[in-house]
Amino acid sequence: MLSLQHISKHYQVGGNKNFVINDISLDVDEGEFVSIMGPSGSGKSTLLNIIGMLDEPTDGYHYFVNEAVHQLKERQRSALYKQYIGFVFQAYHLIDELTVYENIETPLIYQDVKGSERKAMVADMLDRFQIVGKKDLFPAQLSGGQQQLVGIARALIAKPKLLLADEPTGNLNSKQGEEIMELFRKLNKEDGVTIIQVTHSEKNAEYGTRIINLLDGRVESSKKF
Amino acid sequence: MIKNYFKIGWRNMMKNKFFSFINIFGLSVGLACCMLIALYLNYETSHDSQHKNAPNIYQVVTAFIQNGNKRMKMPNTPAPMAGALKREFPEVIETARLLKLFIEDKTIIQFNPANGERKSFLEEKGYLADASFFKIFTYNFAEGDAANALANPRTIVISQKLADKLFGTQPALNKVIHVNSNTNGEQDYTVTGVFKEGKTPSHVDANFFLSVNGGNMEGFIKRQANDFASNNMFYTYLLLKPGTNAAKLQVKLPAFMDKYASKDLKNMGFQKEQSLISLRDIHLSSEVESNVTPPASKTYLYVLFSIAIFTLIIACINFMNLSTARSSKRSSEVGVRKVLGAEKSTLIKQFLGESILMTLIAFIFAIVITLILLPLFNQLSGRVITLSVSKDLMLFFEFLVMALITGVLAGSYPAFYLSSFNPVKVLKGKLTNSLAVVAVRKGLVVFQFIISVVLIVASVVIARQMNYMRTADLGFAKDQQIVVPLRTTAAKSAYAALKAELQENSGVISIGGSAYYPGIFNPSDNLIYKEGQTTAEGKRTRLNYVDDNFLQTLNIQPLAGRLFSPDFHSDTTNGIIINEKAAKEFGFSSAKDAVNKKLFNKFQDNTNTFTIVGVVKDFHYEDLHLPVTPYGFMLNTAGFNYMVIHAKPGNIASMLKTIEISWKKYDQNDPFDYSFLDEDFDKNYQADTRLAGIVGYFTVVAILISCLGLFGLAAFSAEQRTKEIGVRKVLGASVKTIVSLLSVDFLKLIIASIIIASLLAWWLMNKWLQEFAYRKDIDWTIFAYTATIAVFIGLITIGSQALKAALANPVKSLRSE
Ligand SMILES: Nc1ncnc2c1ncn2[C@@H]1O[C@H](COP(=O)(O)OP(=O)(O)O)[C@@H](O)[C@H]1O
Ligand SMILES: [Mg+2]
């Protein structure tokens, strides 16, 4: 599904190049569930953002569903991104001014999905996550676990092939975290969504089919189950 | 999608009520200013558009040339001009003459119904017009037939308003009314038409039109039938054949003047150059002096236009600044939306949607404000502008477009700024404003304050000039002077008896009679020269005809020789008293030198000789816009237009009562009317008073909106620094140091604005002051005042917020972070 070849990213600090990602090569197949681990500052988020095309590497080749991302223009990249990728954050990043319903609906609006169709899709999603009763509440009125559920529902609404999650359980207690992980596993198994998550928890990492350890911007180890 | 934008916009607005209030209030007021001024500009530019023939109507304009010096163009032409032009040029289909009854005068109009009380009114805005006038111009006749209305002698066409006043609900047509004017004498006229005053203004603001024939002017016009040089008192209008090129016709006018006027002009010692001005240009042209009604003042239009634009800009700046200052609050939303697939252009549209929503709400308030303030604005600007939601739909649509444009302008900068955030960066943490955007914000605050400070300086300078003009020594006593117009033959002949009786009154200092008095139009003038010179060296000298007590009544001071006196009989035949300026211009070495010398004036083939009996100190017979020019008084014994009564300070009301009782004794027929000389004189400052009023009001508005913006910024900055302030307080900082910490940045901006604005205002207002021949020049005290006012206002605005932040409990603010 995606292939990174000799990807590097550095920041210019003073006269020195500070490498955050240092020559990483990585292939992820469709249907995989990858967990990325590593100490704080090792470049996990940066790597995830590069995969998600939110950030650009300073070097290397990036292929996604057989497209050479590093050669694409902003618009094309954005189109590709919209079609295939969903994002989940540690801090949920729901839009405070929008209701649960509207938060979930937003990606569809940006994809120019018709109103009636949107309604059906959002209703379906609310139903699936069992949050129909909360659809008119605002994020501030929800608990952290509920907010993250909405965040995931929103990431999934446009039926992405690839779900990227940056410490999705970082702000949740262990029970809530477990529920989210179960959900991920189900998504991966039953719906065939490819998932790449960043996590600090060994336990959560083990939900994945592969664990990659980063250290100082390099892949320290990678093992498949 | 649009619905979505508006929904989010609305929620954001409701969530930040304070900022929304500042923005909507500012934009409402800014838009209302623009609407009022747009209405005004619309009114001013619509003059005479109602006439069907408008594109083919022209007014004949004259430039008088003497000794090679061209004076301002005037729309005044002699009586035979119209007829000759029609005869001479086939492209001139129709011509009409219009003569204004003396401007400062009122006409007595009386109606004596067979059964009922006699009605008698003093009416203004009367004209004599040729019958062809209504063939050229479109008037909506409620009664009578426009085409023939003024064909017969002693016929009158009146406005609906006057008809209502005279006849109530009765038809006006064919009623006979008595008309008595200084210009045209006293006759009976038959009403042959009533016209409705439309909504569209005309440069001819007539209340009634008299036929040219049948009054005193008929004889005068007949006598002048071949005089193309003098009697330049008629407005001549031409209706050209459709498709005629007016410029080509204008080229033929010098030859025409050669043929008809060259001989007379040579005798008179000046030349005339004729040109044409298109009807629709008359009201907007500043090239032609003293037209039927004063043209729109260009300065005034520019000032209004700039004020409208600047108020709106100030409001837009508030919106921009508050939006970008609060951008950190919106940045994560931008980041998330981008992650969810929003493109930059989509986000730009979203933010523009919000600003447009805000301006649309402001638009509704602005319309309400406009409707409420229109009467006040009319009073300020001296216009009768109307606005109704049903009749002016097109105008409202234009206002809506204006509001939308404002929304886009105000929203574009924040929209581009906010939508350009990088999602990776903003989602990582709080975003601090970039230096560039802070610099822009500071620049915009300075710009706002420059506008406000310029307006403050302008207000102060205008107020000082107005005060100077009202209190300046005019060279005569202008207070306690009651002017009683003597309009009719009966009133004029009653003058001597009236004067004799009133002079006995202990409240009266002195009484004088005259043809004109200072402050009103003084139409009489002659080219006068001294012995040894010719008419070509003559100086244009205004002349007034007075009795032997007028100069004493006005307290005009003799410098050399003497004032008129009944002891010198020769005074009435050829005595003249001139002002200092005249003595100088005629070439006398001193005032003393001028006394008993001879002066001459050539009129047609006669030469008149005068002897100077005295020279008086210069006095302002015209307002302070104009320099003092040569002036002469001649002695008359009767036939005065005005009786001027200098009363002792005290009970003016009872004095007026006394005068009225005497008046009734000697003239039972005419209504008693009076005015105060000082008020009449100050009427010349009407345009300036209006300017002062408008600038004053808008200054307050501009300051208010700017301060609201500043207040918002200060509040925001204090809010942002809550934690810092808390820490500083815990570390022992006093309230004073914290207030100054928070205020000093803003104060620097205000001071920078004051410096730039002072320079700009000094240059601008100096230009404005050049319009006055006598002025109170700008000095440093004005800037001292202004700076004090601006710093004071700024300090209150910012200081209040800083103080609030400084007094907050640090424990609370630290915990909440
Ligand atoms: N804009 C930037 N400038 C300089 N260094 C940066 C910037 N953004 C991130 N970094 C550095 O990149 C490194 C990796 O960051 P990140 O990918 O967020 O790590 P992780 O998610 O593993 O904790 C960190 O050391 C951080 O300091
Ligand atoms: Mg991270």
**Percent of chain A predicted with pLDDT > 90:** 70
pLDDT digits (tens, 9 = 90+) for B515-566: 999 998 887 888 899 988 888 888 889 999 999 999 999 999 999 999 998 8
Compute the distance between CA of residue B6 and CA of residue B359 in angstroms, rounded to an integer: 12
**For residue B339, which residues of chain A lie inside 8 Å, CB to CB?**
54, 87, 93
- Beta strand ranges found along B666-762 (DSSP E): 675-676
**Percent of chain B predicted with pLDDT > 70:** 98
Total residue length of chain B: 817
Q: Answer yes or no: are the C-beta atoms of B253 and B48 closer than 8 Å.
A: no
Q: How confident is the model at residue B657 (pLDDT cuts 50, 70, 90)?
A: very high
Q: Answer yes or no: are the C-beta atoms of B654 and B595 closer than 8 Å.
A: no
Q: Answer yes or no: are the C-beta atoms of A94 and A150 closer than 8 Å.
A: yes
Compute the distance between CA of residue B23 and CA of residue A113 in angstroms, rounded to an integer: 34
Q: Whose CA is nearest to atom 27 of ligand 1?
A: A41
Q: What is the pLDDT of residue B433?
A: 63
| 8 Å CB contact of A54 and B340 | no
Please identify which residue in the block is written with the tokens 């002077």.
B481
Q: Is A154 on the interface with B (CB under 8 A)?
A: yes
Question: If phi over 0 gives left and psi between -120 and 50 gives alpha, with beta otherwise, what is residue B648?
Answer: beta
Q: Answer yes or no: are the C-beta atoms of A81 and A51 closer than 8 Å.
A: no
Q: How far is CA A168 from CA A91, A181, B397, B778, in A?
A: 8, 9, 52, 70
Which sequence spans correspond to the domains of chain B? 2-43+297-469+686-710+739-808, 54-281, 481-684
Q: Whose CA is nearest to atom 17 of ligand 1?
A: A43
Give the ligand 1 atom nearest the CA of A46: 17
Judged against a pLDDT cut of 70, whether residue A16 lies above it is answered with yes
pLDDT digits (tens, 9 = 90+) for B111-129: 988 887 888 888 989 999 9
Q: Select, from the ranges B297-306, B494-503, B662-671, B685-694, the one with the highest average predicted confidence (pLDDT).
A: B494-503
Rounded to the nearest integer, the mean pLDDT of chain A is 91
Q: pTM here?
A: 0.82
What CATH number does the domain containing A151 carry?
3.40.50.300
Per-residue HEC secondary structure of B144-162 comes to ECHHHCCCCCCEEEEEHHH
- Which residues in B have their CB inside 8 Å of a CB on A? 1, 4, 7-8, 11-12, 15, 332-333, 335-343, 346, 423-424, 427
Q: What is the pLDDT of residue B815?
A: 58
Q: Select, from the ranges A193-207, B54-68, B429-443, the one with the highest average predicted confidence (pLDDT).
A: A193-207
Q: What is the pLDDT of residue B69?
A: 73
Q: Whose CA is nearest to atom 3 of ligand 1?
A: A11
**For residue A55, which residues of chain B lie inside 8 Å, CB to CB?**
424
Judged against a pLDDT cut of 50, whether residue B627 lies above it is answered with yes
Give the ligand 1 atom nearest the CA of A11: 4
Rounded to the nearest integer, the mean pLDDT of chain B is 88
Distance A41 CA to ligand 1 centre (A): 6
Q: How far is CA B168 from CA B140, B172, B210, B600, in A?
A: 19, 9, 21, 55
**A 51-110 residues with CB < 8 A to B:** 54-55, 75, 78, 81-82, 87, 89, 91, 93-98, 102, 106-107, 109-110
User: What is the identity of the amino acid at B731?
Assistant: L
| 8 Å CB contact of A110 and B346 | yes
By C-alpha distance, which of B21, B37, B35 is closest to B401? B35
For the CA atoms of B320, B322, B324, B325, the dihedral, rounded to the nearest 10 degrees, stands at 150
pLDDT digits (tens, 9 = 90+) for B408-421: 999 999 999 989 88
Greatest alpha-carbon pair distance for chain B in Å reads 105
Judged against a pLDDT cut of 50, whether residue B817 lies above it is answered with no
User: What DSSP assignment string belongs to A111-140?
Assistant: TT--HHHHHHHHHHHHHHTT-GGGTTS-GG
Which secondary-structure segment (H or E) carries B572? Answer: helix B571-574
Greatest alpha-carbon pair distance for chain A in Å reads 56
Give the ligand 1 atom nearest the CA of A40: 23
Q: Whose CA is nearest to atom 16 of ligand 1?
A: A43
Q: What is the pLDDT of residue B604?
A: 67
Q: What is the pLDDT of residue B745?
A: 83
Residue A40 Cβ contacting ligand 1 at under 6 Å: yes
Q: Answer yes or no: are the C-beta atoms of B288 and B282 closer than 8 Å.
A: yes
Which secondary-structure segment (H or E) carries B195? Answer: strand B185-196
Q: Answer yes or no: are the C-beta atoms of B629 and B573 closer than 8 Å.
A: no
Judged against a pLDDT cut of 90, whether residue B375 lies above it is answered with yes
Q: Which of B47-61, B422-436, B750-764 has the lowest mean pLDDT?
A: B422-436
Q: What is the pLDDT of residue A110?
A: 86
CA nearest to B335 within chain A? A93
**A86: its two tokens:** 């969903």
Other C-beta atoms closer than 10 Å to the C-beta of B544 total 20
A91: containing domain: 2-224
Residue A213 Cβ contacting ligand 1 at under 6 Å: no
| 8 Å CB contact of A78 and B427 | no
| 8 Å CB contact of A82 and B341 | yes
pLDDT digits (tens, 9 = 90+) for B671-693: 899 999 999 999 888 888 888 88
- Determine which of B14, B326, B336, B419 to mutate to test the interface with A (most A C-beta atoms within 10 Å): B336
Q: Answer yes or no: are the C-beta atoms of B564 and B613 closer than 8 Å.
A: yes
The size of the A-B interface in CB pairs under 8 A is 49
Distance A169 CA to ligand 2 centre (A): 13
Q: Answer yes or no: are the C-beta atoms of B136 and B239 closer than 8 Å.
A: yes
Compute the distance between CA of residue B780 and CA of residue A128 in angstroms, rounded to an integer: 77
pLDDT digits (tens, 9 = 90+) for B318-329: 999 888 888 877
Residue A20 Cβ contacting ligand 1 at under 6 Å: yes
| 8 Å CB contact of B341 and A54 | no
Residue A52 CA to its chain's centroid (Å): 7
Domain count, chain A: 1
Q: Answer yes or no: are the C-beta atoms of B383 and B40 closer than 8 Å.
A: yes
Per DSSP, A167 falls in state S
Q: How far is CA B162 from CA B307, B377, B435, in A?
A: 38, 26, 68
By C-alpha distance, which of B529, B531, B67 is closest to B269? B67
Distance A140 CA to ligand 2 centre (A): 24
User: What is the identity of the amino acid at B111?
Assistant: F
Per DSSP, B797 falls in state H
pLDDT digits (tens, 9 = 90+) for B425-465: 888 765 566 778 888 888 998 998 899 899 889 989 999 99
Distance B429 CA to ligand 1 centre (A): 12
Handedness of CA B34, B40, B44, B45 (dihedral sign): positive
Distance B734 CA to ligand 1 centre (A): 39
Q: What is the pLDDT of residue B715?
A: 84
Q: What is the pLDDT of residue B268?
A: 73
Q: Whose CA is nearest to atom 11 of ligand 1?
A: A20
Q: How far is CA B659 from CA B506, B643, B653, in A?
A: 12, 11, 10
Q: Answer yes or no: are the C-beta atoms of B197 and B161 closer than 8 Å.
A: yes
| 8 Å CB contact of A154 and B333 | no
pLDDT digits (tens, 9 = 90+) for A120-163: 999 999 998 899 999 999 999 999 889 999 999 999 999 999 99
SS3 B213: coil
Distance B314 CA to ligand 1 centre (A): 42
For the CA atoms of A187, A193, A199, A201, the dihedral, rounded to the nearest 10 degrees, stands at 40
Residue A90 Cβ contacting ligand 1 at under 6 Å: no
By C-alpha distance, which of B620, B550, B609 is closest to B579? B620
Q: How confident is the model at residue B568 (pLDDT cuts 50, 70, 90)?
A: confident
Residue A37 Cβ contacting ligand 1 at under 6 Å: no
Q: What is the pLDDT of residue B450?
A: 92
Q: What is the pLDDT of residue B103?
A: 56
